[in-house]
């Protein structure tokens, strides 16, 4: 019967194209925007219960169809017997192993909304489990599979149609408090975790864990299923929640880990009194410990991510990372419950580490120029996912004793074999205050030191996100190099992975030392004989866009072209436009009307809009109108200012994109406009 359902469903989608692996046209071994969009994007890696197989998804995109699709794959942990188990014109996602290792639960849009399904590990016998209005966001079965929790949207607040039923087509939203928008949406629903029984492939007696509460779990806009966890005995669900609304929510990052007792329905706050972000709980296999990621200070979203554990028998909390001046993320327990694997970035590369519960000893396992983002134990080996500036995510097995890595997935082997990547060089530059700063330099393929190349200064966003070995499908540094630009990417002040002092210097110092760091980086490279110092460009997004706007008024004719995407232009306006008040309060020091606040006043005195009178260099402005973090009015104001000043300028506006550019054809348009602008002024 299940197979009949599958056949019928696929038959109804005959006109929908099957988006699979793309075969791009590659000329002269050079990356192009079209080649970039042809890479398969590996995600959702899951190790089977017996540690012998790996389940994962790959997303493919069609530029012609202007959309993407994801498919599911299974392989052995040595990389053998790789099998694509779905091949449909519909999306399959969030796939997870069932405890028998013979079945897989997953979400599918087969019936229009994302619903929970189960199938055999070879892709056969698909059976639909849920049929909920609005669909399911994600899910997890209890260890014995007698119960299930899933995340679904519930109505938030009073809608206009609730107040005025005779105006069902009115689109206006009545707002009475803060936090009425999130990233790219008006908040009319919030995610809640539901728990239910599970028997004979059916759910029964579902209960909203947060019933009647106007809170969200997982937390928007980026939280996922990692913010919830089952205890090994199936009696407790740990969930992450910031139990605040409105103005209080907008001003605070104080989330907590709550335990929900499935049998009694009672809830207990396990991190009460811990004031920063507490999130991503995970129980030890023996049920004696809870580990989670914890920040210390309320309102500081870039605080150190500490690795905390809770002794579930005594209630004692322990910070395992006290003497570790790095972040700890992607926590994963060893099967013996005696240690935890995690990933951490130091000096702009991200490695796998292990910490012992008893001795708090932290050991680095991997080495190399790359970033790991996931780790899990699989019998006598580890399974990890990593990328670099020269290679997108792939799955690897790692020897936990030696750190030796073996690639398993090879999803993009054929494309990478046809491309020549530019050399990535680690360089340390002396700053204006005599510190040493790591700068990545990416050279064009077939680099000739006897030639002179136009050179781009890359300004990172965040502002507190590392310029590590990241791979981007928009800000791809190898694509820039393939267009015969040298790229200079500094880890300026305010970035993690260089210690607390380096990270926190930027708070309240926008327009300060970190801008001097940019000058130090580009000035050092401009001295090289192969850099054309008369053809320097400056590019960046978000805080990087702010950096471009600020540098445009202070660069003393260093640069010949600027490009800013989703950047902050008017800081007083940004203070009132963003939805996350904790961010601007911490980073800018407070409100612009607080004249007695010296830190805040210094921040606003460095607002780029105050220095437009010094703009003299061509600038391209890009912004998305669905960007509710930094509103498009910021980009429009910058563009208008340039035009009114007589500065050559262009604007690319996306009515349907947010802080990123997610649609394939918009992505291609972004890249073409990007390089047409830079080539016009730098070549």
Catalytic site positions: 542, 627, 659
CA triplet 324, 327, 333: central angle to 5 degrees? 90
Q: How far apart are CA 420 and CA 263, in angstroms?
A: 59
Torsion angle (degrees, nearest 10) of CA 16, 118, 44, 377? -160
CA triplet 248, 253, 257: central angle to 5 degrees? 105
C-alpha pair distances (Å), 238 with each of 45, 261, 319, 353, 376: 22, 9, 19, 24, 20
Q: For residue 360, what is the DSSP state? A: -
Contact 211, 163 (CB under 8 A): no
Strand partners for 537:
456, 561
Give Cα 502 to chain centroid, integer Å: 22
> Given the structure tokens 């004249």, which residue do they identify?
595
Q: How far apart are CA 266 and CA 285, in angstroms?
A: 23
Q: Which distant-in-sequence residues (6+ apart) come within 8 Å of 486 by Cβ? A: 441, 442, 443, 444, 453, 454, 455, 456, 525, 530, 531
Q: Is the dihedral of CA 491, 564, 671, 528 positive or negative?
A: negative
Going across the sheet that includes 317-319, the strands are 278-283, 289-294, 306-311, 317-319
> Given the structure tokens 């042809």, which residue do they identify?
38
Q: How far apart are CA 317 and CA 282, in angstroms?
A: 14
CA triplet 220, 223, 229: central angle to 5 degrees? 130
HSE-up of residue 58 (Cα within 13 Å, Cβ side): 26
> Given the structure tokens 């394939």, which residue do they identify?
664
Question: E strands within 480-526?
Answer: 486-490
Q: Which string of b and e fits 293-315 if b means at least 16 CB within 10 Å?
A: bbbeebbbbbbbbbbbbbebeee
Contact 136, 152 (CB under 8 A): yes
Strand partners for 362:
355
Q: How far apart are CA 159 and CA 648, in angstroms?
A: 45
Q: How far apart are CA 540 and CA 461, in angstroms?
A: 7
> Given the structure tokens 């605070």, which residue do they identify?
252
For 42, phi then psi, to 5°, come to -75, 135
Torsion angle (degrees, nearest 10) of CA 12, 14, 19, 22? 170
Residue 121 has which token pair? 């590990």
Q: How far apart are CA 217 and CA 196, in angstroms?
A: 17
């Amino acid at each position: 019967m299940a197979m009949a359902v599958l056949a019928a469903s696929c038959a109804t989608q005959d006109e929908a194209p099957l988006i699979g692996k793309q075969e791009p046209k590659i000329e002269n071994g050079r990356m192009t925007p079209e080649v970039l969009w042809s890479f398969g994007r590996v995600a959702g890696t899951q190790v089977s219960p017996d540690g012998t197989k790996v389940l994962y998804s790959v997303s493919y995109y069609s530029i012609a169809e202007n959309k993407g699709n994801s498919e599911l794959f299974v392989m052995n942990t040595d990389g053998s017997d790789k099998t694509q188990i779905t091949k449909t014109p519909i999306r399959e996602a969030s796939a997870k192993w069932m405890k028998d290792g013979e079945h897989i639960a997953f979400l599918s849009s087969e019936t229009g909304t994302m619903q929970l399904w189960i199938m055999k590990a070879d892709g056969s016998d698909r059976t639909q489990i849920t049929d909920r209005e609005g669909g399911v966001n994600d899910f997890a079965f209890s260890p014995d599979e007698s119960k299930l929790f899933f995340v679904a949207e519930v109505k938030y607040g009073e809608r206009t149609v609730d107040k005025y039923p005779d105006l069902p087509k009115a689109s206006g939203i009545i707002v009475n408090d803060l936090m009425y928008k999130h990233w790219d949406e008006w908040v009319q629903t919030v995610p809640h975790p539901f728990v239910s029984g599970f028997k004979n492939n059916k759910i029964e007696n579902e209960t909203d864990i947060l019933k009647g509460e106007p809170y969200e779990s997982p937390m928007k806009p980026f939280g996922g299923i990692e913010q919830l966890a089952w205890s090994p005995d199936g009696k407790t669900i740990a969930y992450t929640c910031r139990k605040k609304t409105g103005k209080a929510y907008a001003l605070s990052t104080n989330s907590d880990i709550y335990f929900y007792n499935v049998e009694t329905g009672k809830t207990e706050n396990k991190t009460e009194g811990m004031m920063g972000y507490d999130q991503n709980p995970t129980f030890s296999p023996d049920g004696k410990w809870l580990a989670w990621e914890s920040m210390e200070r309320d309102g500081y979203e870039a605080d150190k991510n500490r690795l905390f554990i809770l002794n579930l028998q005594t209630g004692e909390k322990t910070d395992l990372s006290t003497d570790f001046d790095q972040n700890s993320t992607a926590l994963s327990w060893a099967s013996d419950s005696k240690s935890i694997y995690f990933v951490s970035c130091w000096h702009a590369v991200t490695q796998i580490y292990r910490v012992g519960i008893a001795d708090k000893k932290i050991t680095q396992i991997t080495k190399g120029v790359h970033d790991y983002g996931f780790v899990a134990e699989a019998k006598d080996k580890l399974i990890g996912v990593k990328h670099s500036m020269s290679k997108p995510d792939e799955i690897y097995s790692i020897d936990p004793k030696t750190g030796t890595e073996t690639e398993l997935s090879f999803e993009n082997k054929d494309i990478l074999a046809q491309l020549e990547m530019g050399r990535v060089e680690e360089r340390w530059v002396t700053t204006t205050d005599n510190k040493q700063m790591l700068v990545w330099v990416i050279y064009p393929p077939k680099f000739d030191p006897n030639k002179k190349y136009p050179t781009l200064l890359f300004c990172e966003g965040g502002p507190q996100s590392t310029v590590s070995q990241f791979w981007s499908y928009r800000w791809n540094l190898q694509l820039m190099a393939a267009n015969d630009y040298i790229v200079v990417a500094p880890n300026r002040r305010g970035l993690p992975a260089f210690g607390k002092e380096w990270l926190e210097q930027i708070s309240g110092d926008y327009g300060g030392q970190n801008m001097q760091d940019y000058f130090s980086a580009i000035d050092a490279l401009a001295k090289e004989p192969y850099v054309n110092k008369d053809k320097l460009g400056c590019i960046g997004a978000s805080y990087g866009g702010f950096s471009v706007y600020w540098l445009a008024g202070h660069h003393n004719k260093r640069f010949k072209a600027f490009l800013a995407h989703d950047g902050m232009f008017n800081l007083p306006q940004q203070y009132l436009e963003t939805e996350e008040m904790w961010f601007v309060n911490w980073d800018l020091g407070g409100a612009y009307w607080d004249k007695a606040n010296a830190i805040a006043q210094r921040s606003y005195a460095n607002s780029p809009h105050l220095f437009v009178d010094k703009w003299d260099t061509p600038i391209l402005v890009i912004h998305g109108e669905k960007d509710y973090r930094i509103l498009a009015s910021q980009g429009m104001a910058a563009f208008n200012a340039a035009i009114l000043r007589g500065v050559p300028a262009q604007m690319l506006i996306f009515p349907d994109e947010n802080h990123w550019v997610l649609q394939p054809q918009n992505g291609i348009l972004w890249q073409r406009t990007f390089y047409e602008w830079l080539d016009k002024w730098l070549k």
